[in-house]
Amino acid sequence: MIEKLKAIKDKFDLLTQDISNPDIIADNKLWQQKVKEHSNLQPLMEEYDKYVKFDKDLHDANELLESETDEEMREMLKEEIKSLKDSLEKSEENLKLLLLPKDENDTKNVILEIRGGAGGEESALFAHSLLRMYQMYCDNHKFKMEILNIEETELGGVKEVQALIKGKNAYARFKYESGVHRVQRVPETESQGRVHTSTVTVAILPEMEDAEVQIDEKDIRIDIFRSSGAGGQKVNKTDSAIRITHFPTGIVVSCQDERSQTQNKEKAFAMLRAKVYDYYQQQKEAEYKQNRKSQVGTGDRSERIRTYNFPQGRVTDHRIGLSLYNIDSFMDGNIDEMIDALTLADQQRKLAESTEN
């Protein structure tokens, strides 16, 4: 590992020189590429510098201990050596994590899709609750959510909604939310106080650029129609809604949130690129998943990942067996504790796999 880090350090130092080189600065595209590469390596190099310092300080302290005769000084040196060993060990673990292959989508924006599942109107009402939860999370973390398409019910529920979430490392924070979310609670429509169980499906897709996913015009059909809302509400007077059908995959996307046909078309294509990318990624990963089922998944839409039990005030994530007894706060968007735990579990799994290989 140390030899690998030394080689990366040499590369990092060269990049540091390159981004200050006038000839490279003159080539804006090349300069931006090198700045991005330098920025990506910086956290690893900062941790490596710490590791090198801890290692040198430990070596120096051991040498002093060998020559020191004063017992009080020896005890102090022993304490320092113990502390440095702990710091060195922790730094080594951090380096192993930082050396793990990065998910290239972590820095991307997110296409969020929420669909009601089993449970009828109660499922739609809980879909609305989840949308609110993610909106509040976005508000608390300076992410921006834009509704792309929404189908609402008469009682204020959501049959289906797609939204774009913009912000630094949005996908890294949201990617573990994909899957089936189960709710156990007394529905607002229940007169006898019985607890019902319903499900909602959440999909998290990275937003893809034109260059990353090519959509051939001959493979699609674009339909233009008049927007409509729940119960005849929010009806646009112009034919501005867009529906795109992608023939090779059978994927259909719609966008009617904007009054501008051009804006709806742009957002519909953003959804389509994300879904087409996801479709082919799911196919590529299917064989791998048959051989090895990950504890923390980011793509299996049929996997029941979480239960929201309102009578017990409990939220349980079944992938890592974590239960939090703060459901009201959780539904207000305070979900960082769960996301952090899922991220850590995924890192530990990848670390274990890297040592096996």
pLDDT tens per residue, range 166-187? 998 999 999 999 999 999 998 7
Please say whether the beta carbons of 97 and 343 come within 8 A.
no
What pLDDT shows up at residue 181?
A: 96
Query: Is the pTM here over 0.75, yes or no?
Result: no
Residue 254, pLDDT > 80, answer: yes
Rounded-to-10 torsion of CA 40, 202, 286, 296: 60
Which has the higher per-residue pLDDT, 317 or 99? 317
What pLDDT shows up at residue 174?
A: 96
User: Average of pLDDT values for 71-96?
Assistant: 92
pLDDT digits (tens, 9 = 90+) for 98-118: 887 778 889 899 999 999 988
DSSP 101: P
Determine whether 9 is exposed, middle or buried from the number of CB atoms within 10 Å of its CB (0-12, 13-18, 19+).
middle
User: Average of pLDDT values for 130-134?
Assistant: 97
Q: Is 241 helix (H, G, I), strand (E, B) or coil?
A: strand
Closest CA to 150 of 163, 138, 137, 140: 163
Residue 286, pLDDT > 90, answer: no
Averaged pLDDT score across all residues of the chain: 87
Closest CA to 342 of 175, 104, 181: 175
What pLDDT shows up at residue 290?
A: 55
Q: Place 18 in a pLDDT band, splitting at 50, 70 and 90.
A: very high
What pLDDT shows up at residue 295?
A: 44
- Min mean pLDDT across 131-145, 188-202, 230-244 is at 230-244
Please say whether the beta carbons of 215 and 270 come within 8 A.
no
149-162 burial, b for 16+ CB within 10 Å, e for fewer? Answer: bbbbbeeebbbbbb
